[in-house]
Structure 1
Amino acid sequence: MSKTADLPAANFVRLSALRRNRLLLSLIALQMVYAIAVSIYVGRSYWDFSTSSLIVISVRLLGFMFANFVLWRLGVAMFVVRPKKPIQWMLQDLRSKMADVENATDAVICFLSIVALILTYTFLKNEIHAVNPTLWDEQFVQWDRFLHGGVDPWTLLWPILGSPIVTTAVNGAYHIWFPMIYIAVCVACLDRSDPNRSTVFLVAFALCWFVGGNVIATIFASVGPVYYEPFNLGSDFVPQMELLRKSHEISPVWALNVQEMLLDGYRNNGLAGGISAMPSMHVASTVLLAFYGFTYSRWLGWALSVFAFIILLGSVHLAWHYAIDGYVSILLASCFWWLSRRLTAKFGPST
């Protein structure tokens, strides 16, 4: 077939892929429009921010995505198919998967959408306090105390989680969150065996980070217990921070270094300088991860539910969040998952 004859077919594939993923693309486009409006309001260029970060982040995520793809197919070869030559089977499988133009196009579109989501989310998070300088922290502290018998929730957790070794373990789980979320995103982009399942997760993920992490986080601007004193809100959480530092002297609490890095980035307009506590994106995204796990198997869903519970406890224990941040995040994630299922049923790939 001539190249000229191939053009209509290629255009049809691209248009079909755009239509199948129109729900996710529409959300990302809406987030970008919101970011442009914010950039005009605060007087900082969204495009300059995006351009400077796009190449580096895209390359890193592409490499991470490809590595996940290879490991996934190797796992299928070793534990599902079990051929005599698993590496050879995997290489042949990779070639066939990459030759599937329709699924490959969907994967690329989803991947690029998530890159755009992350970049835009980061820009908007960095501008939260420029848009809304009023902090809700004192109100959240009062609500926390009202819900927990008049005391700060971290004081209830410390007798249980306050051991230096346990604190390190909780902090380890909190750090594992990052690769787990990206693995889940890669799986959703690459696994096209059930396009609607992937779309539900990716759309809920986009809603979580855009509506929750950008819009709601700006309306209810807050900094969390760890930054309560640095933002001149009082010394209420100084005892908690002192206990975490003492624990760090015995067993590492890596959160302390990350917290210092974020505060430095905030004060010096760094790339990772956005500080917000409400809602907790760690908790919200991990709850989504548990919902996604249930779509594969019950045991995976329950395992990820336990992980989400640990993240909820860790968010308070490590002074990142007030307990109410996590409670609201669970509610938001549940609503986003429900809404995503409804939207996907109406506008998803199978419609």
Structure 2
Amino acid sequence: MEMAPDIAAKPARMTASVKLGIFCLIYAGTAALLFPESFLAAFGETRLRLYYLLMPLMVFLGLAIAGVINRPRSPLGFVRDKLAARGIGATSTILIFMACVAAYTAYKHDFSGLVTFFADPLFARVDAAIHFGDPWRWARSVPVPPALDRLLYVLYSQLWLILLAGVVVFAAWLENAAARQRYFLALTTTAILLGVAVRLLGSSAGPIFYDRMFGGDRFADLITALKASNAGPDTLRITDYLYSSYTDNVTVVGSGISAMPSFHVAIVTLNALFLWSLNRWVGAIAWLYAAVILFGSVYSGWHYAIDGYVSIAAVLLIWRWASRRTYNWL
């Protein structure tokens, strides 16, 4: 996702930025070849189009705010210098990111139809065994006032993608090449290993879909708890939306059902590692948000707790590997 023009620094070989760009385009191009209808539908989906249109606005506002903070006497000069230094590279990064979002949607949607959800019974048993009961029950035993229940829903279901895009835009304009390339290498590797490989190896729907997929009332109490909570009915409406997409085989925003691994937890963990490496205060806030997302994934029933644990462990290893790999590229 990173295509900064640093050829002048290393004219004798393909630069790290170009390698990363090709890596990401292969990921997106493979989705377009394997699942062309879903890939194109993701680009054409109304809410994703609005999301893409908001990206340039986010960039402009971000640069304007940064200019006021970093160069209050000449914010336009700051913006001009930034555009000169990172304009092509950042624009390329953001465009490739958009293609990768469509690719991820296509993979997630079509894998739901191609691979049976076979791992739920095992994950549910393991989750209950290692936590001495269903983790969602422990999470729901925490007193959460209605206002916080609503806030948790917003943080998990509505702000996650916006914050991901914000970090991507920020990283695209970052002049620290090593930090920038490390983040995008880790992000792309996370999407491929967790979003494709682990997704297929641990195909599961999650507690909130368990009874629909397998019958019975294994998680009936969870559904009852959701119906009785402030934001639970909204969460259940999203499950109806996703289940309809699954049964009708129609690609929509967020299309596809998948529990293992938790991509929500994986991304916020990666973002926390990245932001912590740049600024401890901002990183601390990012780690707090990651903890909220992990809790929310179990509290809302989207995931088994082990989905988050696997994601955290995998991202920590990917981040460490990306650091060594980036160092070798520079």
**TM-score (normalizing by structure 1):** 0.82
Shift of 1:173: 1.7
> Which residue of structure 1 lines up, in the alignment, with residue 38 of structure 2?
49
Q: Which residue of 2 aligns with 1:263?
A: 243
The corresponding residue for 2:126 is 143
1:111 Cα deviation after fit: 1.6
Structure 1: gaps spanning 5 or more residues: 1-9, 40-45, 84-88
Question: Relative to structure 1, is the Cα distance of residues 204 and 61 closer, same or farther in structure 2, using a 3 angstrom cutoff?
Answer: farther
2:38 alignment partner AA:
F
Among residues 60, 64, 85, which one is paired with 1:74 in the alignment?
Answer: 64
Q: CA 1:161 to 1:341, structure 2 compared with 1: closer, same or farther past 3 Å?
A: farther
The whole-number CA distance in structure 1 between the counterparts of 2:16 and 2:312 is 29
User: C-alpha deviations, 1:302-344, integer Å up to 9, x for none?
Assistant: 1111110010000000010000001001011111211211221
Moved more, 52-61 or 179-188: 52-61
Give yes or no for contact 1:200–1:344 (8 Å, CA) kept in 2: yes
Does the C-alpha gap of structure 1 residues 147 and 197 become closer, same or farther in structure 2, counting only changes over 3 Å? Answer: same
1:35 corresponds to which residue? 31
**How many angstroms apart in 2 are the aligned matches of 1:290 and 1:230?**
34
Residue 95 of structure 1: which of 76, 80, 84 is its match? 80
2 CA distance for matches of 1:132 and 1:122? 16
Give runs of aligned pairs for residues 1-351 of structure 1, distance below 5 A.
Answer: 19-32=15-28, 34-35=30-31, 39=34, 46-54=35-43, 60=50, 62-83=52-73, 89-98=74-83, 100=84, 103-149=86-132, 151-174=133-156, 175-191=158-174, 193-248=175-230, 254-272=234-252, 273-347=255-329, 351=330
Task: Write the deviation string for residues 232-264 of structure 1: whole angstroms up to 9, x where unpaired.
Answer: 24311111111111113xx66532222221111
Contact 1:23–1:344 (CA under 8 A) maintained in structure 2: no
Look up the SS of the partner of 1:221 in the other structure: coil
> CA separation in 1, counterparts of 2:325 and 2:50?
31
Encode CA deviations 1:157-205: one digit per residue, 9 max, x unaligned: 11214543332222122132221111001111122x2022111111111
Distance 1:145 1:55 in 2: 41
Verify the 8 A CA contact 2:113 2:246 in the aligned structure 1.
Answer: no
Distance 1:62 1:172 in 2: 20
SS of the residue 1:278 aligns to: coil
Question: Structure 2: any 5+ residue segments left out of the alignment?
Answer: none
Alpha-carbon RMSD: 2.6
Matched residues, percent identical? 23
Contact 1:161 1:317 (C-alpha < 8 Å) held by counterparts: no
* 1:283 counterpart letter in structure 2: V
**CA distance 1:188–1:240, shift in 2 (3 Å):** same
Query: The residue matched to 2:116 in structure 1 has which SS?
Result: coil
- Larger mean CA deviation between 331-340 and 55-64 belongs to 55-64
Paired residues of 1:131 and 1:218 also in contact (CA < 8 A): no
Residue 67 of structure 2 aligns to which amino acid in structure 1? A
* Cα distance in structure 2, aligned partners of 1:196 and 1:229: 47
Alignment partner, residue 5 of structure 1: none
Aligned partner letter, 1:64: L
Which secondary structure does the structure 2 equivalent of 1:295 belong to? Answer: helix
The code of the aligned residue for 1:244 comes to L
Superposition TM-score, scaled by structure 2 size:
0.87
**CA–CA distance in 2 between the matches of 1:130 and 1:267?**
9
How many residues align? The count is 319
Amino acid at match of 2:223: M
TM-aligned CA deviation for residue 283 of structure 1: 0.4
Contact 2:119 2:204 in 1 (8 A): yes
Counterpart secondary structure, 1:320: coil
1:227 shift after superposition? 0.4
CA contact (8 A) 1:125 1:274 kept: yes
**1:297 is matched by which residue type in structure 2?**
N
CA contact (8 A) 2:31 2:39 kept: no
Structure number with larger C-alpha Rg: 1
